[in-house]
Amino acid sequence: MVVSLRLPSLSSLFLPSVSRRSPAVLRRHHHRILRTPVFAASFSAQTTVSETDDRVDTQKSNRVQDQAVTPRSKDFNAWYLDVIEQAELADYGPVRGTMVIRPYGYAIWEAIQDYLNVKFKETGHSNMYFPQFIPYSFIEKEASHVEGFSPELAVVTIGGGKELEEKLVVRPTSETIVNHMFTQWIHSYRDLPLMVNQWANVTRWEMRTKPFVRTLEFLWQEGHTAHATPEEAEKEAIQMIDVYTKFAYEQTAIPVIAGRKSKVETFAGAVKTYTIEAMMGDRKALQAGTSHNLGQNFSRAFGTQFTDESGLRQHVWQTSWAVSTRFVGGIIMTHGDDTGLMLPPKIAPIQVVIIPIWKKDDDRAVVLNAASSVKEALHAAGIKVKLDDSDQRTPGWKFNFWEMKGVPLRIEIGPRDVSSQSVVVSRRDVPGKQGKVFGISMEPSVLEAYIKDKLDEIQSSLLEKAESFRDSNIVDVSSYDELKVAISQGKWARGPWSAGDKEELRVKEETGATIRCFPFEQPLGIKSCFMTGNPAEEVAIFAKSY
């Protein structure tokens, strides 16, 4: 479905808006419809690429496709937007900064949900749902929370045709309404811990937007827990950042660095914020998930108390934690290349695509028949497999299309393969002939084992590649000058830090870099702050970020 879309480039349409005013929605809308769909022409041209050989020359057909994709090295942002468009991950909504998540992009989000939902339940959380409309007065109850969120709020002022007496905030996050409810539900220590999660949409009126990375409305999960002791809350906050870290490494092959945020970067209303920071292909940092120890900030603001075992009334200790559709952006920007998206097998909606190839009509039935058998065998083995048997596109077009979509493995079956009862298997992550293996037996048990093995290999290989890229772009610094050099080279700087908020903001102003985190993994030995020379207990990582 919706396989062949032809849309104008997103690049020019999803650029950061400079206006702080509302979008000129209709103007843009009309503009868009009237634009010449530039890719339509180049994309259609591909369908005429004739296949003169039993085996398709990928290199040649790729050249056609390349016209439509900005090279990553040339303009990372344009490349990112091109991939989102051509891999059919998302489209712009009619309102500035909003995003339509298309089926293929949504399937990646569903894979993220499927994994995390199980982990959340295994760790004792239940799903539930809180309303998205929050009385404005709630937001004002926690001082730093209102300071952090009030500039980004969307506000409902009219309901059922009437001006509302109290304005309603469209949730930017749910701590306030959660605490309002927790206050009614929690009475004694027996009601604790209370551990819930919701999958929901949230709204933040961002001025600089970018599909998946920062949109006016996005999808996320937000966990909220209440505990009887600060130790339990801390343990929970750490447990959930560990769940995210494991997820990032093992499912998405993103070698995030987990750590603690500086005070300046801590969530509005939290005591401590833990984060996972990922290095994108342009070496900017992406905050990919956070877990907050909220202490008693919200329980004090909302009077969320319980009677402890000795009969005393106490405020509960809380956490909240979230990952969002931003993670999809992280996957694109970690693994993608000039050919398009590249998906880690564990998160790929389609792990293997089968392309049948024939010239003569006589061969069609026998090739399709073999392709179907292979598909059934792999499907039965639990592999996510798609057979692209459409007559409307050439094999060359299909090769490009599924490479653009980042499918980890391609199986090619032509008449000669059927004769020899074998297939050709190509890896998305190893371009050209090097990634292509001929003569893999069609015999189900042999093929299944081979495919599963290759998928595991790709999964590991993507992680290794990303790790080595990350490690070669982190520079250990022992002076502010060294940090400046590293940041100006686009790298991350890691160095001992014990300076104050003022110095941190100075670094930001002068270099554009912020403290991404104090990583959990710390070097041994005595350190002194690269800024002040004072003793420093920890190293911090500085980087420019999304």
* Burial of 541: CB neighbours in 10 Å, binned 0-12, 13-18, 19+: buried
Measured between its terminal Cα atoms, the distance across the chain in Å is 33
> Is 516 strand, coil or helix?
strand
Nearer to a second copy, 98 or 473 (CB): 98
CB of 268 to a second copy, least distance (A): 16
CA angle 441-445-451, nearest 5°?
70
CB of 93 to a second copy, least distance (A): 4
Nearer to a second copy, 191 or 457 (CB): 191
SS3 of 274-324: EEEEEECCCCCEEEEEEEEEEECHHHHHHCCEEECCCCCEEECEEEEEEEE
User: Alpha-carbon distance 215 to 84, whole Å?
Assistant: 14
User: Alpha-carbon distance 469 to 242, whole Å?
Assistant: 22
CB of 98 to a second copy, least distance (A): 4
* Amino acid identity for residue 109 in this structure: W
Nearer to a second copy, 137 or 489 (CB): 137
Alpha helices in 325-443 (DSSP H): 326-335, 361-380, 395-404, 415-420
SS3 of 157-214: EEECCEEEEEEEEECCCCHHHHHHHHHHHCCEHHHCCEEEEEEEEEECCCCCCECCCE
Q: Residue 133: which H helix or E strand, with range?
A: strand 133-135
Asked if 458 contacts 344 with a C-beta cutoff of 8 angstroms, the reply is yes
CB of 101 to a second copy, least distance (A): 4
> Is 244 strand, coil or helix?
helix
Q: Give strand pairing partners of 353.
A: 386, 410
Nearer to a second copy, 52 or 392 (CB): 392
CB of 251 to a second copy, least distance (A): 19
Asked if 434 contacts 369 with a C-beta cutoff of 8 angstroms, the reply is no
Phi, psi of 90 (to 5 degrees): -160, 165
Q: Give strand pairing partners of 372.
A: none
Alpha carbons within 13 A on the beta-carbon side of 460? 6
CB of 120 to a second copy, least distance (A): 12
User: Alpha-carbon distance 297 to 142, whole Å?
Assistant: 7
User: Alpha-carbon distance 494 to 259, whole Å?
Assistant: 13
CA angle 226-229-231, nearest 5°?
105
Asked if 285 contacts 279 with a C-beta cutoff of 8 angstroms, the reply is yes
